[in-house]
Amino acid sequence: MLERAARAVVRRWVPTATAAVTAGAVGLAGAATAGATDRPVVNCKDDPRALRSAIDSAAPGATLSVKGTCVGPLTIGEDLALIGLEGAVLDGDGAGSAVTVGPGVRVRLADLTITNGTGTGGGIHNNGGTVRLTGSTVERNRAGDGGGIYNNVNGTVTLVGSTVRDNIAHSGGALINFGTVTLSGSRVERNTSTIDGGGIYNNFNSTVKLVSSTVEHNTAARSGGGIYNIFSSTVTLTGSTVEHNTADGADGGGIWNDIKSTVRLSGSTVKNNTAAIKGGGIYNSTGTVSLTGSPVEDNTAGLDGGGVYNSAGTVPLTGSPVRDNRPDNCGGPDPVPGCIG
């Protein structure tokens, strides 16, 4: 029943070069020329809403430096880079996504904190553009879907040395993805979903890649505490860790994989995750979870498959021990070759 309910609910989720700036952009209220770099500095310490007009007036491809807490919501419709200075903040003011990026738009966000957004994609709503976050934090946002980030069809989001934390959504506490998301040296932590995908929710032929990244201490009210992957989607983890995540109501404390989807782990670890019912570490149904040099250990399930629960599908293990899980290492109607009890 729980599996059928999960599938019924998930079907609802249908995806909705730096250039010089013009003299007019430099002269905006709240902006001043940044000396040797000839880059405008938007001073939100003096005017919290100065960044709105600066974005509207900037030439395509401009780079704006930002100080203070800039109050939004902000909509970016042309190629743009925003560079934070002195702990700069982009604040959604609880009135919509803190940052919305339009189709085909290329945006770079560096050294910023993005917070207090609501709606679809509380922190960032990427509606088919390309977004690159470097050294940034997306935190304390609340949304219907994609608490921190909502990446729509044809959208690309890349996080480098960045963190998505303490966000809340129905599905995808940290992020929901219908396009392509890559995390490198980044963290997804302490996010919450009131349905599925406490950390990452990957859906409808979409791709998530994690390299040297961590998904930890995320919670789903139902399934997929750390990662929820469904409908012919692919998640690849390389040198990454999924740990201390919780599926409070059902299955897949660390990773939940279903409906012809694929999860590939290489040199990664799934450990110390908890599921209320099945698959403390990994829950797999009608998909493939392949592990190479990737141990699954010290996970807990309330009923079966403390480490791995294979409902229907394949879980090939190559140099990947499944050990010290409770109440057993592997469970489910389909065997996991090489897994002992």
In tens digits, what is the pLDDT along the chain, a chain of 341 residues? 333 333 333 333 434 433 333 323 322 333 333 343 567 899 999 999 999 999 999 999 999 999 999 999 999 999 999 999 999 999 999 999 999 999 999 999 999 999 999 999 999 999 999 999 999 999 999 999 999 999 999 999 999 999 999 999 999 999 999 999 999 999 999 999 999 999 999 999 999 999 999 999 999 999 999 999 999 999 999 999 999 999 999 999 999 999 999 999 999 999 999 999 999 999 999 999 999 999 999 999 999 999 999 999 999 999 999 999 999 999 999 999 999 87
Q: Which of 169, 272, 184 is nearest to 228 (CA)?
A: 169
Cβ(198)–Cβ(175) under 8 Å?
no
Q: Give CA 240 to chain center in angstroms.
A: 14
In the CATH scheme, what is the code of domain 2-10+45-331? 2.160.20
Of 59, 51, 48, 49, the C-alpha closest to 25 is 59
Q: Which DSSP string corresponds to 181-197?
A: EEEES-EEES-EESSS-
